[in-house]
Chain A
Amino acid sequence: MGGRWSAEQVLALAPDATSARAGRSLSRPSPWSGTGTTDVALWGECQGSGKAPYQVVVDITGPAYLCSCPSRKFPCKHAIGLLLLWSAGEIAEAEPTAWATDWLTERRQRLTTPAPPSRTKATPKDPEAAAAAVAERAARREDRVTAGLEELDRWLHDQVRQGLSRLPHEGYEVVDRVAARLVDAQAPGAAGTVRRLAGVTGSGADWAGRALEELGLLHLITEGWRRRSELPAPLAETIRTRVGFTVKRESLLAGQPRIRDAWQVLGSRDEVQDHLQVRRTWLRGRATGRDALVLSFAVGGQSLDVGLVPGTAVETDLVFHPAALPLRALPVAEATPVPAPHPPPGTDVAGAAGSYAAALAADPFVELVPVVLSDVRPAHHDERWAVVDTAGEAVRLVGGEPWPLLGASGGEPVTVFGEWGPRGVRVLSLWGDEGMVLA
């Protein structure tokens, strides 16, 4: 991307359609004064309905926003309007005003100094005693997880011994009770898989097959946990993640290497999980060729982290969560915009299937892998949608009617990016004649 963003990218930052519209109505020069931009920031004053104009600063590298308006939308319409104006080339280079400089400097400092440890309520004098307390807590959890997973193992065993055909009659509560006990045992990851089993059971012609798949994966969790000391360290980490252990940012930063690269943002998807909004953003490193998944979370009306805009690329450091197939990553440095190739280099259907197989070989739990498919055309097959590559190999599309893909392609070859999973590909973005499109 380098330099300015497109209007689409700016509008992708808007927390909702209303903000996008309001931002657009402010994207003309007349309400603005004192605007200016440097390589990394832009600022300006926007005359609203009140007497004093609102002061707006945007740090492009975050991006991060500051506005003196009372809006709780983030970014607010003023920031969006200013970004749009900038995207249209209507903001000239200038020296930052004093109020802009203050905030930008303060922000830089905050980023470069590590955050103070958040849990400071009990600061024991003796660091050794503190370490011992932490270790004891960890050991206690391991014991509870072991007990919980042993119980799960017995339950799994009973199901297969007595037959899955009983499951639909026993109802959701039985499975839910098993999940609840796993939550009590501090194994929320395993509990999630058990709940998914409840969703599969009895629904659809092939429910037994899908239920057996879930049972098999649960069995892998219990077995893996039992033998965790014998496993290679990354696989043991994968098992811990599946059980429900999380890794703190600090220990990631301390224990994992920083991978610097130009990371292209290929696509993202928002989901709601347990009232929590989750944005999954997929990156691919230009030099390393590595795929990365960055998750961000928001509760209620909060805005998700929108720093990684699909269609752009940023130079930054990522730290990967340790795993047999390390995908989940955390950006840990300031991001500098760099040019992104359009379309990104991709593979054919066989190549993507191969990368999925390789991923499954490394991590049998993996549900989705990111794939870029080059030169594929839409097809309708057995009442369902698919894309076909130039070799004539096709893959099903999942996740609703693919209208943007169909409209953008018109039957001509396009490059698509998506999540390749057990039932097909969910397209998240694509590149056709008109550039990048979010599907």
Chain B
Amino acid sequence: MTAWWDDLVATALLGTERRQLDVGSLPPGIATGARDAAEPARQVLAAAATATAYRRAGALALHGVEPLAPAAPDPRPSLPRAAAARLADLLDAVDEDLLGEWLAAAVRHRPPGHLVPALLDAVRGRPALQHVAGVVAGPRGRWLAGFDEGWRRVVDRAAAGDEEGFGSLGPDDTWTTGTPAQRLAWFAAARRRDPDAAREVLAASWTAEDSRRRGELLEVMRSTLGPADEPFLEHALDDRRKEVRTTAVAALSALPGSALSRRMHERLAACLRAERRLLRGARIQVEAPTECTPSMQRDGIPAKPPRGSGERAWWLRQLAALAPLTAWTELTGLDSPDDVVAGLAQSDWRAEVVGGLAEAAAVQHDPAWAATLLRVVDPAGSGPLLEAVPPDARGPLVVDLLREHAALRLDLLAAVPRPWPSALARYVLPRVAGRTLDDWESRALAELAARRSPTHLHAEAARIAPDHPTYQRAVVDVLRTRHDMLEELR
């Protein structure tokens, strides 16, 4: 600040009784007004009045300020007007489900730049949306992430599914110096490009990886598994960390023909015996393992059961979960999963075996086994099993299951992801409309039907019960909003 102003302030602070103002030191324009004043305090006030305008008028422009380096261009076409307005609306009061559906449909467009900060903010506490939000935010989001640590994390997560996302860093740089999220993203992309080379890179640094990261990296590997990965996974069975071992076991059990699968096949053979009976199908005799050898433990069968479960029952269940599903038909000579499950009906160990088989069907992604087991397991555990069924087969299967249960099973329906197959929605919607929708379960069903039914059914859904205002509001309005919101993106 200028010396004369500081002098003026100092005089005012101490008071003119104690400190004299040197009017001569003031700039001429300010001094003139002050000189006219009769006595010192008034001189200070007069000078302050003029000086305030004087200083305000002159004080502002800064020099030597460098503008920020601009963001990378975003080649995507801009969002249609209505869709941009919709995004503003969705960010205004976040409905995680709707926003997630919108974002997934909007990845091919460039959002209006001024909404990108709000978008990154909206997903701060919503990990499930961060990946897709980061992709939608695009280069502008990556640029903004430089100004906020929370945004940085969102954008890193998006790079996990987007090769270009971190291309600027250079692959080797990212792998050696990136944040854990960036490294995970790099590894996922590298596995998709060249699984073997990526595995070699990982193997080179494996022992130096933080034990928690090892589990995450292995999990990434599982989604792109091939026979060449087996030695590496077999090696990971001896890892110190339990999560790493569990992931490796699951990966190996899903790898057809792996040594682990063969060992499990042999162990299973020792437990099964099939009796063929004329006209009544087969009966399978099951005998649970009587010990858990060190080799079984290494292969992922924990010796100590969880509280409340017997040792042998537990070992059997784990064995069924990890053995190749093909072993069941081969060892019993039966033709189909249905026959095997029927053959188990008399067994004392049926519950353990079915529980283990359900896990195996989910991990080994076997649709035939999944379809069979969905009919016999507790619906609460249907989610992973349904995922083993190809999407277009899920609808008819769930419709069948619902018919068999003669009820709208919320847990079963919750396991069918959006969008529901039309057949399923057409089965569920009229049954939801047939209820008064005044109890908790019905409302939850209505909500599920509204948010997961395919949007092209909105008009059909409206015609089902035109005089049921609750249904119209809870289901049809939501369905129509989803329809409009997706149409706007076309």
A positions within 8 Å CB-CB of B: 6-8, 11, 17, 20-21, 24-25, 28, 49, 88, 156-158, 160-165, 208-209, 211-213, 215-217, 219-220, 223, 349-350, 353, 356-357, 360-361, 364, 377-381, 386, 388, 392-396, 403-412, 420, 422, 424, 432-434, 437
From B17, B50, B52, B67, A163 is in contact (CB under 8 Å) with: B17
Cβ proximity bits B59-81 to A, threshold 8 Å, 1 near / 0 not: 11111111111110000001001
User: Does chain A have a CB within 8 A of B101?
Assistant: no
A-B CB proximity, top 3 nearest: A163-B15, A216-B48, A411-B70
Instruction: Give complex CA distance A433, B113 in Å.
Output: 9
A222 to chain B: closest residue by CB: B45
Contact B92 A381 (CB under 8 A): no
Given contacts A21-B93, A393-B62, A396-B62, contact A411 B14 (CB under 8 A): no
Partner among B49, B53, B71 whose Cβ is within 8 Å of the Cβ of A410: B71
- Do the beta carbons of B89 and A434 come within 8 Å of each other? no
Across the interface, B52 reaches (CB within 8 A) one of A164, A217, A223, A349, namely A217
Q: What residues on A are CB-neighbors of B222 within 8 Å?
A: none
Determine whether the beta carbon of A28 is less than 8 Å from that of B480.
Answer: yes
Asked if A216 and B49 make an inter-chain contact with CB atoms under 8 angstroms apart, the answer reads yes
* B-side contacts of A420, CB under 8 Å: 60
A8 and B85 form a contact (CB under 8 A): yes
Extra A-B contacts (11), CB below 8 Å, given A163-B12, A216-B46, A388-B67: A11-B89, A161-B40, A162-B15, A216-B50, A357-B57, A364-B50, A393-B63, A394-B63, A404-B114, A411-B67, A420-B60
| Most chain B CB atoms below 10 A, which of A28, A208, A406 | A406
Q: Which of B51, B57, B88 has the most CB of A within 10 A?
A: B57
| Contact in complex: B114, A437 (CB < 8 Å) | yes
Contact assessment for B9 and A7 in the assembled complex, using a CB-CB cutoff below 8 Å: no
Whether A406 and B144, one on each chain, are in contact in the complex, defined by CB atoms closer than 8 angstroms, is: yes
- Contact status B16-A350, CB under 8 Å: no
B311 close to A (CB within 8 Å): no
List residues of chain B with CB within 8 A of the CB of A424: 60
Contacts of B70 in A (CB 8 A): 377, 410-412
Residues of chain B with a CB closer than 8 A to A162's CB = 15, 17
Within the complex, the shortest CB–CB distance from B26 to chain A, in Å, comes to 13
When the two chains form their complex, are residues A216 and B140 in contact, meaning their CB atoms are under 8 A apart?
no
Q: Are B112 and A408 in contact (CB under 8 A)?
A: yes
Given contacts A24-B89, A161-B15, A212-B12, contact A411 B57 (CB under 8 A): no
For residue B461, give the distance in angstroms from its CB to the closest CB of chain A: 13
Q: Is the CB of B60 within 8 A of A353?
A: yes
A381-B469 in contact (CB<8A): no
Partner of A356, one of B9, B41, B60, B480: B60
Residues in A whose Cβ lies below 8 Å from that of B84 = 434
Establish whether residues A88 and B67, one from each chain, have CB atoms under 8 Å apart when the complex forms.
no
Q: With A395-B61, A406-B117 as given contacts, are A164 and B12 in contact (CB-CB < 8 Å)?
A: yes
Given A157-B45, A393-B61, A406 contacting B147 (CB threshold 8 A): yes
Taking a contact as CB atoms under 8 Å apart, the answer to whether B59 and A407 are in contact is no
* Alpha-carbon gap, A161 to B12, bound state (A): 8
Tell me if A208 and B13 are in contact (CB < 8 A): yes
Bound complex: CA of A76 vs CA of B156, how far in Å? 42
Which residues of chain A are near B118, meaning CB under 8 Å?
A: 403, 407
Query: Which residues on the B side are within 8 Å of A360 (C-beta)?
Result: 53, 56-57
Judged by a CB distance under 8 angstroms, whether B4 is at the interface is no
A379-B66, A407-B115 as given contacts; A21 in contact with B53, CB under 8 Å: no
Report whether A160 and B44 are in contact in the complex, using a CB–CB cutoff of 8 Å: yes
B82 at the interface (CB under 8 A from A): yes
| A213 and B62 in contact, given A406-B144, A407-B117, A411-B69 (Cβ under 8 angstroms) | no
From B48, B67, B477, give the contact of A219 (CB < 8 A): B48
The answer to whether B469 and A377 have CB atoms under 8 Å apart is no
The answer to whether B89 touches A21, judged by C-beta atoms less than 8 angstroms apart, is yes
CB-contacts of B124-161 with A (<8 A): 139-140, 143-144, 147
Give the contact-size bracket for chain B. 35 or more
Chain B residue with minimal CB distance to A162?
A: B15
Q: Which residues of B contact A6 (CB under 8 A)?
A: 81
Q: Is the interface of B mostly helix, strand, loop or mixed?
A: helix
A7-B82, A21-B93 known; A434 and B113 CB under 8 Å? yes
**Interchain CB contact under 8 A, A163 and B13:** yes
CA distance A360 to B113 in the complex (A): 36
User: Is there an interface contact between A350 and B61, defined as CB atoms closer than 8 Å?
Assistant: yes
Q: Give chain B nearest CB distance to A375 CB in angstroms.
A: 11
Q: A51: shortest Cβ distance to chain B, in Å? A: 12
Pick the residue among B12, B113, B114 that contacts A208 (CB under 8 A): B12
Our pick among A49, A157, A379, A408 for the contact of B65 (Cβ within 8 Å) is A379
Q: B8: CB under 8 A from chain A?
A: yes
Q: How far is the CB of B125 from chain A (nearest CB, A)?
A: 18
Closest B residue, CB atoms, query A404: B114
B456 within 8 A of A: no
A393-B61, A408-B112 known; A163 vs B53 contact (CB < 8 Å): no
A357 — which chain B residues lie within 8 A by C-beta?
A: 57-58
User: B23 → chain A, closest Cβ, in Å?
Assistant: 14
Contact call B9/A353, Cβ cutoff below 8 A: no
Q: How far is the CB of A27 from chain B (nearest CB, A)?
A: 9
Check A215–B82 contact: CB distance below 8 A: no
Give every chain A residue within 8 A of B143 (Cβ-Cβ). 410-411
Contact A404–B60 (Cβ < 8 Å): no
- B-side contacts of A432, CB under 8 Å: 113-114
Please, how many angstroms separate the alpha-carbon atoms of A7 and B84 in the complex?
Answer: 10
Give the shortest distance, in Å, between B466 (CB) and chain A (any CB). 12
Contacts of B447 in A (CB 8 A): none
With A8-B85, A377-B67, A409-B113 as contacts: A356 and B56 at CB distance below 8 Å = yes
Contacts of A11 in B (CB 8 A): 85, 88-89
The residue that B57 contacts in the complex, of A161, A216, A356, with Cβ under 8 A, is A356
Please give the distance in Å from A398's CB to the nearest CB on chain B: 11
Contact between A160 and B16, CB atoms less than 8 A apart: yes
Report A192 CB to chain B, min CB distance, Å. 17
CA–CA, A8 and B44, complex, Å:
52
Bitwise, B21-47 to A at CB < 8 A (1) or not (0) is 000000000000000000011101111
Known A349-B61, A356-B56, A379-B66: A215·B113 in contact at CB below 8 Å: no
B87 to chain A, nearest CB (A): 12
Contact A408 B113, beta carbon cutoff 8 Å: yes
A24 to B90, CA, bound (A): 11
Contacts of B66 in A (CB 8 A): 379, 381, 388
B175 at the A interface (CB under 8 A): no
A378 to B71, alpha carbons, bound, how many Å? 12
Give the chain B neighbours of A156 by CB distance below 8 A: 45
Are B41 and A160 in contact (CB-based, < 8 A)? yes
How many angstroms between the C-alpha atoms of A208 and B5 in the bound complex?
11
| A-B residue pairs in contact (CB < 8 Å), sample of 15 | A7-B81, A25-B481, A162-B17, A215-B12, A216-B47, A216-B48, A219-B45, A377-B70, A388-B66, A392-B65, A393-B63, A404-B117, A405-B114, A411-B67, A411-B71
Chain B CB within 10 Å — which of A164, A216, A411 has the most?
A216
Assess whether A434 is in contact with B85, with CB atoms less than 8 Å apart. Answer: no
B140 CB contacts on chain A under 8 angstroms = 407, 410
Q: How far is the CA of A162 from the CA of B66 in the complex (A)?
A: 46
* B116 close to A (CB within 8 Å): yes
Tell me the smallest distance from the CB of A224 to a CB of chain B, in Å.
10
- CB of A3 to closest CB in B, whole Å: 15
Q: Which residues of B contact A434 (CB under 8 A)?
A: 78, 84, 112-114
* B117 neighbours in A (Cβ, 8 Å): 403-404, 406-407
CB <8 Å contact, A364 and B52: yes
Q: Which residue of B lies closest to A364 (CB)?
A: B53
